[in-house]
Chains A and B, each alone.
Chain A
Amino acid sequence: MSGAGASSSSASTDEGSLADYATISAQYTGGSGIGRITPLVYNPESDGPPVFHSGVWTGDDERVQFVQTADTGTQGTGEGGASQIDGKSRARSWWGIREWFLGDDPIDDGGAQVVQVADTGTDGKTTSKSGGSLIATMGDLADDAGSYVGRSSKSLILGDWTDEKPTELSIGAGIGLGVLGVDLPLDIRDLSHTLTHREWTYKWGETLAYNTIGLIPLIGVIKNLKNAKRLKYLDDAGELAKRTDDAAEDAGDAGRRASSPPNAPADLPSTPPSKAPSDLPSDPPTKAPADPPSDTPAPIDSSGPLFGQKRVSPTFGTEGRPPYLAGRSISDVAADLRAGRLTPDQLPIEAFRLPDGRLVSSNTRSLAALSEAGLSPTNVTIIPPTQELLRRLQETPLIPNAPLPGPRVPVTPSQSDPTIRRIIELP
């Protein structure tokens, strides 16, 4: 059901009714830069209880992870999903590092229904309407040769004070100025914008963190990488992101590591995820998913995904894993990572976000291999929590300083042998 492409009318907004539940499908056309999200009416008679849906839709050469949910609550929104806000169905999706909320007003677009898109923080508050549909939004990102230089200049000069989206040119220029150490006025400009547009949302906090880092000479160049990463997802500017990553290496390890903000999805999997979507069962939802109060700063955690399992086996499983992982030991994979035979991108991590902002990994062995190599994940996909992942957190840790979730995990020989061989710690 989650990936069904059939469409019908938009979600009802009758408060408290099963008909409120919206199922939304996403389609993505690789290469064309067009995304389309179509709301469907949830049919309680045939669909059963309302549930959380998430899914991965694969296009020709692009991927989009789409997550949405619906419930009977009328206030707030949940981490890793969405809900009803003021009686209106909303859903959150992750498009690379961008988070979108889908409005409930369908717009007819050539016979297909698309929805309004608004940038919204994790507290569910819409902070800026981008207007139009997702298609229109994506279309805005398509390069228009006639205005490209003008848009780049505007973005470079006005920075965060303009709604103009950064371009490769403006980002490249920003990095160049940063490397030369003459970008302090631009950093002060952006920081002043952030401080005068306080929103107490996750996104605002993330922006504040980046703009504060931007004040640091040389290291501050990583501020531009956030925009570069965003381009990578929205505009297929993967090469640009790679180049900016390389530039960050010049700024030292600290810069390189920070180029992939660990609490945001740093990348989409290099190969289409073979596994299907997660689910948040909910019938009947007893309350609206909790989120920080709107007057409380959304928590932000600067560290990478934590381990979310009591122990980890020393070898990868063989089912459904690429040859460079299947059946291999964590240590061997870590050695390949250290030697450069594997890249962190080849070990995608799926993680869900806790209410306090921390991420918890579901791929314990991959995270352990990266950690043993002294690397942080660069290929992180945010997923909703699953029943299984939360069950894992109910066990008691093996060692005193390895809470669940936590920054270290004991390696034990097998499912049947809990002897602690060694302890792997996040770098």
Chain B
Amino acid sequence: MLTIKPRLIPLEVPWMVSPSTPFLELHSPQTNKSLSTYVQFVAYNKLHDTGASGATGRPVSVVDTVPEFQASRLSERGAYQLVRLHFVNAISARVSTSFSDSQVIEELAYDWSHVPSAWKGEDIFEHLRKADETWAKSGICGNPGVYEVITSDHAEEPLSSVATASKASTLKRFLILGHDSFVEINAEGVDVQYGQVLSGW
């Protein structure tokens, strides 16, 4: 039976989840529902990338673990920065292993038509150039690796059976791509919180 593919709607943010070093983590409280469910990762912002530390001759710093998140001032921006996405009234979430070495999710299974910087078959170099150009001009990353997933009612697959009919009507599904894993969350909304800039990444 043919089904309509879930449509990806990218979050309008100035960064992308770092494709090589995302360090994607899901934090979902099991008992204390007053705590928020959030996803933390390393974001990459090309607009603030003046050359990686190694590329500019500066030593690459040792980071044994991702440093503890420290909320940053709005003015603090860097090429690599910790970001938390706090999900409003999240009811379910799951982490899955990447689909393959070349695809975090099964890309074929999704409709990418609303992702501005998704590759549509043009010359690859031209695609990369345009993606960077669009990023620079708009300040928005065209394919950030964080999406809201729009599904048709009949095609929607609840992540959890706890979603009641009344609740489900206000729920949105979010998808966050890491490197070796990805996260899916059903929630009513999402807020972005910026952490510290990671130097040496």
Contact = CB atoms under 8 A, between A and B. Distances in A.
Interface stretch (B29-37, B84-92, B99-107, B187-195): B99-107
Contact of A398 (B4, B5, B46, B60): B60
Given A281-B112, A285-B120, A48 B131 contact: no
A286 B120 contact: yes
Contacts of B98: 319
Interface in A242-280: 275-280
Residue from A276, A285, A354, A386 whose CB has the most chain B CB atoms within 10 Å = A386
A420 B64 contact: no
B68 to A, nearest CB: 12
Interface stretch (B49-57, B69-77, B162-170): B49-57
Contact of B177 (A309, A388, A395): A388
Contacts of A317: 180
A49 B128 CA distance: 23
A51 B106 CA distance: 13
B125 A418 contact: no
Contacts of B16: 391, 394
B101 A350 contact: yes
B23 A416 contact: yes
A278 B103 contact: yes
Interface stretch (A78-86, A116-124, A151-159): A78-86
Given A278-B102, A385-B119, A396 B124 contact: no
Given A1-B2, A390-B128, A419-B63, A285 B55 contact: no
A146 to B, nearest CB: 45
Interface residues of A, number: 73
Interface string B126-141: 1110011000000000
Nearest to B128: A393
Given A387-B112, A388-B102, A391-B16, A71 B128 contact: no
Contacts of B157: none
Given A280-B119, A285-B120, A310-B20, A416 B65 contact: yes
B interface secondary structure, majority: loop
A362 B102 contact: yes
B107 A386 contact: yes
Contacts of B153: none
Given A309-B20, A390-B127, A275 B52 contact: no
Given A387-B107, A396-B79, A282 B179 contact: no
Contact of A290 (B4, B63, B102, B123): B123
Contacts of A81: 121
A48 B177 contact: no
B120 A281 contact: yes
Interface string A68-81: 01010100001101
B180 A281 contact: no
Contacts of B131: 390, 394
Contact of A400 (B21, B54, B97, B200): B54
B141 to A, nearest CB: 9
B121 A78 contact: yes
B44 interface: yes
Interface string A1-41: 11000000000000000000000000000000000000000
7 contacts: A51-B108, A355-B124, A363-B101, A364-B101, A385-B124, A396-B79, A416-B64
